[in-house]
Amino acid sequence: MNSESYYKHHVFFCLNERKDNEQSCAAHQAKEGFEYCKNRVKSLGLSGPGGVRVNKAGCLDRCAGGPVVVVYPDEAWYTYFDESDLDEIIESHLVLNQKVERLLLPKDIGR
């Protein structure tokens, strides 16, 4: 862990909801994904200073790839489809420090 970092990993879930049927993470059960990840991280004893912090975020401006979660300081932008994908991100990235390549958003995916 970087000596200047309070958390080893900071995980942000986009929970933005757009109007008029525009693409948004909220339309892909992002809130449920956030709640699942937060509870799972806590139950595994990963949360807290020196560990993992899971937070809600507003629009991350990558709506076309939603739902979107980003892990800092690694700048790893993920999409996920279900709880098993979130489990894989938690186990591989947050525990073993290995990015889940198959879930990374391509760099050209934006709004």
Torsional sign, CA 92, 94, 99, 100: positive
Q: Is the residue at 111 inside a domain? A: no
Q: Is the residue at 109 inside a domain? A: no
Domain count, the chain: 1
Q: Is the residue at 75 inside a domain? A: yes
In terms of residue numbers, what domain contains 79?
9-103
Q: Give whole-number Cα distances, 47 to 9, 32, 86, in Å.
A: 9, 18, 15
Helix (H) or strand (E) holding 69: strand 68-72
Q: Is the residue at 14 inside a domain? A: yes
Q: Is the residue at 17 inside a domain? A: yes
Q: Is the residue at 65 inside a domain? A: yes
Residue 1's pLDDT is: 47
Q: Is the residue at 83 inside a domain? A: yes
Q: Is the residue at 1 inside a domain? A: no
For residue 23, what is the domain's CATH number?
A: 3.40.30.10
- pTM for this entry: 0.91
Share of the chain above pLDDT 70, in %: 96
Whether pLDDT at 20 is above 80:
no
Residue 47's pLDDT is: 96
Mean pLDDT, all residues of the chain: 92
